[in-house]
Amino acid sequence: MAVKKSPKSLKPLLTYVVTKNRKEALNLGRYLVNHKLAACVNIFPKITSIYRWQGKVESADEAVLIVKSDQKRRLDILKAVKKRHSYSVPCILFFEISGGNPDYLTWLNESVVK
């Protein structure tokens, strides 16, 4: 079976987002997929974060989203998450992907095309 080549225009992107809980993560994930800003969202429902906030070391149980999309959606993802997020300074980090399974990357690209 021949493997398809990924489209040249494909520039996959992973976005890492931390939320206050699983419910908020589910709501954000569904919004991103429903609006074709993401092909898929993975949710880690419970992580423990240790961080510095307003001069103090804090810890909290949170949830993480891994958003699979295309770099063309970067600004739209940023705006959508910030608008719907409960934190005043949400963690939203972008990771550019240099390659992967060409069939999966083609599906990803087709899933976020408007």
Express each pLDDT in 40-75 by its tens digit. 999 999 999 999 999 999 999 999 999 999 999 999
Using alpha carbons, select from 14, 13, 17, 23 the residue that is nearest to residue 64.
17
pLDDT, tens digit (0-9, with 9 covering 90-100), for 16-39: 999 999 999 999 999 999 999 999
pLDDT at 103 over 50: yes
CA 102 from chain center: how many Å?
20
Structure tokens given for 1:
């079976």
pLDDT in the model for residue 33: 98
pLDDT at 15 over 60: yes
Average pLDDT for residues 90-113, to the nearest whole number? 93
d(CA 53, CA 56) in angstroms, rounded, equals 5
Whether 85 and 50 have beta carbons less than 8 Å apart is answered as no
Q: At what angle are helices 74-84 and 22-34 packed, to 10 degrees? A: 140
Q: Which fold has domain 12-112?
A: Alpha-Beta Plaits (3.30.70)
> Is 29 exposed, middle or buried, given 0-12, 13-18 or 19+ CB atoms closer than 10 A?
buried
Using alpha carbons, select from 21, 22, 32 the residue that is nearest to residue 70.
32
pLDDT in the model for residue 1: 47
Average pLDDT for residues 71-100, to the nearest whole number? 96
pLDDT in the model for residue 5: 53
pLDDT in the model for residue 7: 56
pLDDT in the model for residue 72: 93
